Amino acid sequence: MLVGLASWVIVGHSERRRDAGETDELIGRKLSRALEVGLRPILCVGEQLDEREAGQAEAVVAAQLRGCLGGFADDPAALSTAGLVVAYEPVWAIGTGRTARGADAAAMAEAIRAAVAGLGLGFAAVAEGLPVLYGGSVTAASAGEFMAEPAIDGALVGGASLKVEEMAGIVARAGLTAAGRRSAATAGV
């Protein structure tokens, strides 16, 4: 339905998992279908508060990645070719007033790449170039903390995208971060 109307698609969003009961297997099939029709996928993963408090956050996210990406064992390079992006959205930080810290989100971004690399032969190359976004109630005030982390490649913005001032602040911060990273890369050459 989206072909010709969109070039990106979000799969596995926490609200779809919660409200529509989408399983990792179903999300994996949706991801496969998105690749088949040429849509660039953003795969969302993230834990609930009780899972985080029990020290299971990384295990939960790794299990979601296995469940969603396991069907690509025969051709993991297809994920890179399609431009797969993973968005870490800690469910406990979405619309609750609670927020993750930049360092925690960066640690999870590294755990995501490690989990993808551990999926089997060929997945290490996918993980190496895998963009990871942070998507847990990003605001203009919090965006800088997440974007300052080298392990985080950007933000998946939800409700703040509907507020002009908030979104403008997020975009401005992203621009400053991108310019700083380009400058640092140029200085290192």
When the candidates are 2.40.10.500, 3.20.20.70, 3.30.830.10, 3.90.870.30, the CATH number that belongs to 8-187 is 3.20.20.70
> Would you list the domain boundaries of the chain?
8-187
| 13 labelled catalytic | yes
| 53 labelled catalytic | no
Q: What is the pTM of this model?
A: 0.92
pLDDT number for residue 8: 96
Band of residue 189 on the pLDDT scale cut at 50, 70, 90:
low
List pLDDT tens digits, range 31-56.
999 999 999 999 999 999 999 999 99
For the segment 161-174, the average pLDDT, to the nearest whole number, is 92
Query: Closest by alpha carbon to 114, among 128, 133, 100?
Result: 128
Q: Which amino acid, 68?
A: C
Per annotation, catalytic residue among 13, 58, 145, 149: 13
Per annotation, catalytic residue among 89, 145, 149, 166: 89
| Residue 65 neighbours by CB under 8 Å, 6+ apart | 43, 45, 86, 112, 115, 116, 119
